[in-house]
Structure 1
Amino acid sequence: MAASNFLLQLPLRSFTVINVASASSSNGSPPVIGGSSGGVGPMIVELPLEKIRRPLMRTRSNDQNKVKELMDSIRQIGLQVPIDVIEVDGTYYGFSGCHRYEAHQKLGLPTIRCKIRKGTKETLRHHLR
């Protein structure tokens, strides 16, 4: 049987990397490397936890074993996958990454790495349904 070679082509996405937290804050994450300064596409940002609104926190509960495992992992190697955040009119809303967010809270870390996408009020209403 002959082996076949396949080339998977994925579209390149542009990321902007910034740190909006104070320079002395650290959440144990590895340094952010790469990105573009063009402002196109989502931005990877170290955002203070208190700047992120979590409108669904009261209606959902997290698996505490998963939170503990994430806490151990974040202590050892830092946060590897940023949480997704929507920015609407300068306010940040988080609807995913609940376990990672809680792990950061319990560790007492002031910031969390976020992938921020700009959204509209209609986008926000859609997520609140």
Structure 2
Amino acid sequence: MRIQEIPIKNIRRPLFRQNDQEKVKALMASIDEIGLQEPIDVLEVDGEYYGFSGCHRYEACSRLGHETILCKVRRAPKAVLKMHLA
């Protein structure tokens, strides 16, 4: 696993999640003041990035206009991606 900044536009979010908008607003204020403290987790499969967690942090950074987001990147084969999508 490695930690790196990834362009938000390059992270696919294949599963719909309903975010708590109050939590997103609180995170936006925190991230704006002190920065993102906890990276989101992404899978890297064949050079593509997939995010399944960190939904509120992802939305907060997106709404703040950040072009990149700090990620914990774990490489995985397609079989692992399929398990997440099942």
Same fold (TM over 0.5): yes
* TM-score when normalising by structure 2: 0.98
CA distance in 1, matches of 2:6, 2:33: 20
Of Structure 1 and Structure 2, the greater helix share is in 2
Moved over 6 A (4+): none
Q: Which has the higher contact order (CA 8 A, sep 6+)?
A: 2
Unaligned runs of 5+ in 2: none
Q: Partner letter of residue 79 of structure 1?
A: L
Who wins on radius of gyration, i.e. which is larger?
Answer: 1
Unaligned runs of 5+ in 1: 1-41
CA distance in 2, matches of 1:46, 1:88: 17
Percent identity of paired positions between Structure 1 and Structure 2? 63
Q: Partner letter of residue 24 of structure 2?
A: V
* TM-score when normalising by structure 1: 0.66
Q: In the TM superposition, what whole-angstrom CA distance separates every residue of 1:94-115 from its partner, at most 9, and x where no partner exists? A: 0000000000111011010000
Aligned residue pairs, count? 86
Q: In the TM superposition, what whole-angstrom CA distance separates every residue of 1:68-113 from its partner, at most 9, and x where no partner exists? A: 0000000010000000000000000000000000001110110100
Match of 2:11 in 1: 52
RMSD: 0.5
